[in-house]
Amino acid sequence: MPEMPEVEIIRRNLVDRLKGKMITNVEVLLSRLVKWPTVENFESMIIGRTIADFKRRGKYLLLELDNSDMLVIHLRMTGRLCYVSEGDERDAYTRIVFHLNNGDVLTYADTRTLGTLYAIKKDELWRISGLANMGPEPLSAEFTIAYLQEALKSNRGKIKSFLLNQKYIGGLGNIYVDECLILSKIHPERVGNSLAVDEINQLHAAINQVIDAGINDGGTTFRDYRNGNGEKGSHQENLFVYGRNGLPCRFCGSIIEKIEVGGRGTHFCPQCQK
């Protein structure tokens, strides 16, 4: 489940090899993954273009083309990008193939086919509402304690749901949300506007810390995530609560519980998190 750290690792691993390469052909093997425009126009907008830059916003990957059009990719649950040489074996779940002018290939693979791809003009990015309406992301200058305080002030939903909502903070997903809540000792069902100032300070620090640790560990691989070179991350070895239900808390030894919050599996320590 790629979240911001995983998507960032993919970007870092691929940026140097993709920049300056021309896309000479595109094979769309599963057309429903292309959300905009039509598959035909998707192909014609991309074929013959050179990749000018490879950026990221939240969980979206942004390939800027030399005419300022953009190839936007969201991996959702099981999307994987992998850079391979022409004759190399491709992922069994390859759905879209981008051929490059040096003979190499960028494959988009996706087991559950929930991922989304767009070819879009720069002034039409509003069409991708999740991208256009995304809040500031962790580790950015815009993501300040004051911002978090202001956003939480009138929020009457559960803190877990708040953190998962990309319009408030861009890039967090289910794994890192559970992790930043244990680090800040906040129960996932606490109401947003009930957080005290010191709790908001701790939450802000924990969000940045968790995302930074995830990037430093090369991301979290439970099953599907790969880093752009087909390799797994290692942050799953350093998690405090996610996937650790029934195991002792690393802080206090209490048994980690799993509940459902906002329709998502939620792991927490009943002793540490109040």
Q: Which residues are annotated as a binding site for DNA?
A: 112
Strand, coil or helix: 257: strand
> Annotated catalytic, 188?
no
Cβ(103)–Cβ(85) under 8 Å?
yes
Nearer to DNA, 173 or 228 (CB): 173
174, 227, 236, 273: which one contacts DNA (CB under 7 A)?
Answer: 174
> Annotated catalytic, 158?
no
Cβ(66)–Cβ(22) under 8 Å?
no
136, 138, 188, 192: which one contacts DNA (CB under 7 A)?
Answer: 192
Work out how close the CB of 161 gets to DNA at its nearest, in angstroms, rounded to a whole number: 5
Check residue 157 for interaction with DNA (CB under 7 A).
Answer: yes
Work out how close the CB of 102 gets to DNA at its nearest, in angstroms, rounded to a whole number: 31
Q: Of 11, 59, 95, 158, which residue is the catalytic one?
A: 59
Cβ(188)–Cβ(158) under 8 Å?
yes
Residue 5 to residues 16, 111, 159, 171, 264, Cα–Cα distance (Å): 18, 20, 21, 8, 20
77, 84, 139, 213: which one contacts DNA (CB under 7 A)?
Answer: 77
Determine the Cα–Cα distance for residues 222 and 137; give it in Å rounded to an integer.
Answer: 23
Determine the Cα–Cα distance for residues 180 and 186; give it in Å rounded to an integer.
Answer: 9
Strand, coil or helix: 73: strand
Check residue 55 for interaction with DNA (CB under 7 A).
Answer: no
> Annotated catalytic, 59?
yes
> Annotated catalytic, 95?
no
Nearer to DNA, 64 or 179 (CB): 179
Work out how close the CB of 266 gets to DNA at its nearest, in angstroms, rounded to a whole number: 8
Phi and psi at 12, nearest 5°, equal -65, -35
Is 204 buried (19+), middle (13-18) or exposed (0-12) by CB count in 10 A? buried
Check residue 32 for interaction with DNA (CB under 7 A).
Answer: yes
Q: Using CB under 7 A, list all residues that contact DNA.
A: 1, 3, 32, 58-59, 74, 76-77, 93, 111-114, 128-130, 154-158, 161, 164, 166, 173-175, 192, 223, 242, 258, 262-265
- Catalytically active residues are 2-3, 59, 264
